[in-house]
Structure 1
Amino acid sequence: MIPEHPHSAGARAARLHAALAAAFPGAEVTVRDDSHHHAGHSGARPGGETHYAVRVVWAGFQGQSRVARQRAVNATLAGEFAGGLHALAIEARAPGEG
């Protein structure tokens, strides 16, 4: 589970949060930078901002499969992958889902 704070510090975290909030209006969006856990691994860069976890709780996900939800989040953030985002853990749920 992603911590309570709404987003991590950093330019990429702010962009991820803004993009998800715009794509999923009214959603509860949380972004966490996990890059420090991957230092020295493939895709990790000095300065971090390469590995993230996001949580999106949005009413529009009701009735959608897990795959459809993850595809929607990935499509929203495609530009970030092109710009250096290496890994993204996604938790996408409808309100009331555990």
Structure 2
Amino acid sequence: MNAATDSPRMARIRATLTQALAPTRLELVDDSHRHAGHAGARQGGHCTLRIAAPGFAGKRPLECHRMIYAALGELMHTDIHALSIELLPDVAEDLE
């Protein structure tokens, strides 16, 4: 396990997304170390999110991204400097 991935910041982000979107798949990686020297990286908050959620069914990627940003709310201003999002297929959809 990566200490950065298990940080309180990452736990807050993960818990917020889980509560708001009930994802069937969620992978959250702290990429802050890859941005060393970048002014915005001093406080961390560079993340890669891979996510699938039932609420994304039938929606365009932009709509799903907006749902994610809305779920994260204030965390986008306090804990996250940059967020890379990859939408994954929902496992439940694969079973239908």
TM-score range, shorter chain: 0.7 to 0.9
* Displacement after TM superposition at 1:69 (Å): 0.3
Q: TM-score if structure 2 supplies the norm length?
A: 0.81
Alignment of 1:95 onto 2:90: yes
Query: In structure 2, what residue type is equivalent to 1:31?
Result: L
Q: TM-score if structure 1 supplies the norm length?
A: 0.79
Q: Which runs of 4+ in 1 moved over 4 A?
A: none
Q: In structure 2, what is the equivalent of residue 27 of structure 1?
A: 24
CA distance in 1: counterparts of 2:22 and 2:70, whole angstroms: 16
User: Which of the pair has more CA radius of gyration?
Assistant: 2
Identity of aligned residues (%): 36
Alignment of 1:12 onto 2:17: no
* Displacement after TM superposition at 1:20 (Å): 0.6
Gaps in structure 1 of 5+ consecutive residues: none
Gaps in structure 2 of 5+ consecutive residues: none
* Displacement after TM superposition at 1:54 (Å): 0.9
Query: Higher RCO, 1 or 2 (CA under 8 Å, sep at least 6)?
Result: 2
* Displacement after TM superposition at 1:11 (Å): 0.8
Asked if structure 2 preserves the Cα contact closer than 8 Å seen for 1:55 and 1:90, the reply is yes
